[in-house]
Amino acid sequence: MERLQKVIANSGYTSRRKAEELIESGHVTVNGELVNTLGYKVSSEDIICIDGTTINKSIIKEYYLLNKPREVICSASDDKGRKTVVDLIPTEGRIYPVGRLDYDTTGLIILTNDGELANILMHPKSKIHKTYIAKIDGILNEIDFKKLRKGVLIDDRKLIIDNVKVRKIDKIKNTSLVEVTIHEGRNHIIRKLFEKLGYDVMKLTRCKFAFLTDDGLKSGEFRELTTKEVRLLYSLK
């Protein structure tokens, strides 16, 4: 069940604020009955009309930000029966992940049924910045740090590193925590990056996607994107 004004806004008919005005001013009916109370909840089976015109709920757009746990597939389904990111979000809509994270990689991923936005976010021309934190086996030395700053050749193509910093070095456990920001989306690119320099990636998480961060989202948790956030994502094209 969803609030009536949200369903109207998600249908693309009008904004959330305008939908509230339409409801309060008596322009909206649900299953033939006038509804002028904000907060009224409807299901996917209810028929919503505005001034006699039925809204098309089949194009209701949904936007979610998920903090993906390990051992979850970035797909709408899996023929091996493994858990997918879609399984973690209870919705009647047919949402799908924008891009992907590896099976053992954790962190932020957007799920939506908005194909236009998905195309914007995945298109190479958009150059969406994504920030990862990698725990590597070994102490990142100054030489390799400078290589990261200059960019590294991966699969015969140079990977440009937008930003890199060492968050923590544990000399006892011989590990380093390195934050890397890139704007490419090649498969396994962060793991390949450190492997090229001779380090194994022990853990990898994506902590930032464009302006979105994992603040307040524990592993496995999700939230809906706000209208403002969706507009900002659209502006990245």
Q: Quick one: pLDDT at residue 15? A: 60
Residues 116 and 228 in one domain: yes
Instruction: Give the span between the Cα atoms of 117 and 20, in whole angstroms.
Output: 25
Residues 134 and 17 in one domain: no
DSSP secondary structure letter of residue 225:
P
Q: Quick one: pLDDT at residue 115? A: 73
Instruction: Give the span between the Cα atoms of 1 and 154, in whole angstroms.
Output: 48
Does the pLDDT value for residue 121 go beyond 80?
A: yes
Query: Is there a contact between 100 and 111 (Cβ–Cβ < 8 Å)?
Result: no
Q: What is the mean pLDDT of residues 144-159?
A: 94
Mean pLDDT of the chain: 92
**Range of lowest pLDDT (8-22, 47-61, 134-148):** 8-22
**236 vs 116, higher pLDDT:** 236
Residues 7 and 35 in one domain: yes
Residues 205 and 169 in one domain: yes
Residues 68 and 110 in one domain: yes
Q: Where do the DSSP E strands lie in 43-197?
A: 48-50, 53-54, 63-68, 96-97, 106-112, 130-137, 152-154, 157-159, 163-170, 175-182
- Write out the catalytic residue numbers: 102
Task: Provide the residue range defining the domain that includes 150.
Answer: 129-209
Residues 68 and 91 in one domain: yes
**205 vs 45, higher pLDDT:** 205
For residue 105, the domain's CATH number is: 3.30.70.580
